[in-house]
Structure 1
Amino acid sequence: MTVVNILIAAAVLGLMGLLFGLLLMGTEKVFAIPADEKRDAVRAALPGANCGACGYPGCDGCADAIACGKAPVNACPVGGKPVADKISAIMGNAEAADAVRKVASVICQGDSEHCKEKFEYRGIQDCVAASVVNDGNMACKFACLGLGTCARVCPFDAIHVDPVKKIAVVDDGKCVACGKCVAICPKGVLSLRPVTEDVTVRCRNTEPAKKVLSACSTGCIHCGKCFRSCPHGAITMTNGLPVIDQSKCQHCMACADACPTKAMWANFDKRKVSA
């Protein structure tokens, strides 16, 4: 092979590359999808957490849904009202309505001081794995296993396990209600609640009172004292457990005062005393 042949081959390959490049450029222009400036502006306003708390596949999916009217401007719980207001302006709407902020809540007080163990668990330090072994090692089948699976999936460092009490604890200030901890918990201990709820039932055990107390000293024993003590008719009993109608609750916290096991939790700093 002579030098001339090599040069010819190189020139042919270079020409082919140039032609294919021009063809690709032309194809891109012909089949290009027009940019949606409004959608792109919405996406830029979102915080980029990609947590899925909005119910869509990441911030891109949320932006698509908002731009085409399938989701409200306040669909992003991470951004809250400031981001909702920005998106409202982009979409040409009025200022976003105030949405009640939610946080994750641990519906259990059965820590190591109150709830007994059925056996000593020495397996993988993961709640999902532990729950497979005889439904977990806690005597109460509704109790937090305290192995921190929820903490490991939280992208906002808003939940941890108390190293002494061995129970999940949520930092309301950091929690954005993305719901990842709720989804991963094998015992259903976590749920999302409005941050304004200052009185909540922190037990889900529907078993007979004697069995509840044999497992946990702070479990609900279905005595109904909270129901009878509420002067506002805000509590009903369902399957032995109290259910609070937050629209009727006046935050007097008489129910928490009456609860003999303190399964009814209240933030007494926010107690409201009727005149």
Structure 2
Amino acid sequence: MTQFLAPILTLTGLGLLFALVLTFASKKFALVQDPRIREVMEKLPGANCGSCGMAGCARFAEALAKGEAALDNCKVCSEEAASEIAGILGFELSLSEKKVVSLRCHGGKKAGDKFIYQGLKDCQAAAQLLGGQKLCSYACLGFANCQRACPFGAIRMSAEGLPVIDIELCTGCGKCVQACPRDLLVLIPRRGKVYVGCSSRDPAKVVARVCEVGCIVCKKCEQACPVEAIKVVENLAVIDYDKCTSCGECIKACPRKIIFGRK
């Protein structure tokens, strides 16, 4: 029996020694987390959408606490939450203007097809096949990449095969903008109530041949605007939101009904 006692005591002693060493090391080299990180995390929306450029809200909270990120990088954060986070971190709140997504194509079934596409139902894939199935090289391909990219369910596809944006759900994160191979989704100021639903830069004769509703460069919108907030630039009506008062005169003047207003 005594022949086993020495090894048992030795192993026990070693175990206690290692435990003491590990305990000491854990306290000596412990990483102390800034307590503000947890507080900031509780105020962030927790969507983990990545629009801030970080891997998720936890990483963004850490970067904020370290001064490595700007608060307005989070497009989802409400002004109330942003104000509370600024208070936690002890800096003055300065937020950029909130934006919302706008669709620059309303052709859908009114924009003609040049062939019957039977490939993968994906806009990127369709765009790589002869530039897509639409006659208009600026037209929405309608395969819902933007809808799938939206982390907030703010986009649905209509019967026309066009994205419909719910501005109440849209946070302006820009994920759908990145997903569109034709750059048809753009971020505009949320205060802007009027937008042009076309992106074609083609001459009027070409637009009239390939789409029933595309901008035909008639300039009636430009002539109707009382504050000169809309100009035709490179065959397309463009709105200056610093001037636009959302009066709606350009909407009434457009013969193709391609300028829209929203609440």
TM-score, with structure 1 as normaliser: 0.84
- 3-state SS of paired residue (2:108): coil
Q: State the aligned residue count.
A: 262
Checking the alignment, whether the CA contact within 8 Å between 1:76 and 1:84 is kept in structure 2 is no
**For structure 1, which runs of at least 5 residues remain unmatched after alignment?**
271-275
Letter in 2 for 1:143: A
Q: Deviations over 1:116-151 (max 9, x none)?
A: 111111111111111111111111111111111111
Aligned alpha-carbon RMSD (Å)? 2.5
Gaps in structure 2 of 5+ consecutive residues: none
CA contact (8 A) 1:42 1:63 kept: yes
2:252 aligned with 1:254: no
2:42 alignment partner in structure 1:
44
Among candidates 217, 225, 230, match of residue 230 of structure 1: 225
**Structure 2 CA distance for aligned equivalents of residues 240 and 150 of structure 1:** 26
Alignment of 1:1-275 (within 5 A): 19-93=17-91, 96=93, 100-112=97-109, 114-162=110-158, 164-267=159-262
Q: Give 1:74 shift.
A: 4.2
Is the alpha carbon distance of 1:261 and 1:11 closer, same or farther for their aligned partners in structure 2, counting shifts above 3 Å? farther
Take 1:119 and 1:232, find their aligned partners in 2: how far apart are those partners? 43
In 2, are the aligned partners of 1:116 and 1:138 still within 8 Å (CA)? yes
Report the TM-score when normalising by structure 2.
Answer: 0.88
| Moved >6 Å (runs of 4+) | 7-15
1:244–1:31 Cα change, 3 Å: same
Structure 1 residues 239 and 44: CA distance shift in structure 2, 3 A: same
Describe the SS at the equivalent of 2:115: coil
Percent identical among aligned pairs is 40
Greater CA drift, 202-211 or 22-31: 22-31
Q: Which amino acid aligns with 1:191?
A: V
